[in-house]
Amino acid sequence: CPPGEEIQWVIPGHTESVYCQQDGGWRCIAHYGISPR
């Protein structure tokens, strides 16, 4: 997707994901798992 089109979702203490809109849908382009303490 074009730069700046991506949307970052952060769930505190759980996961961090980056999505971009592609072909009329959302595609996860990055996903970071945060290890539990």
Return all residues near 5 (Cβ < 8 A) that are at least 6 apart: 20, 21
Supply the pLDDT for residue 29. Answer: 78
Residue 30 burial (10 A CB sphere; 0-12, 13-18, 19+): exposed
Overall number of domains in the chain: 1
| 20-29: pLDDT as tens digits | 787 888 887 7
Report the length, in residues, of the chain.
Answer: 37
Range of the domain at 26: 1-37
Query: Does residue 2 or residue 18 have the better pLDDT?
Result: 18
Supply the pLDDT for residue 24. Answer: 84
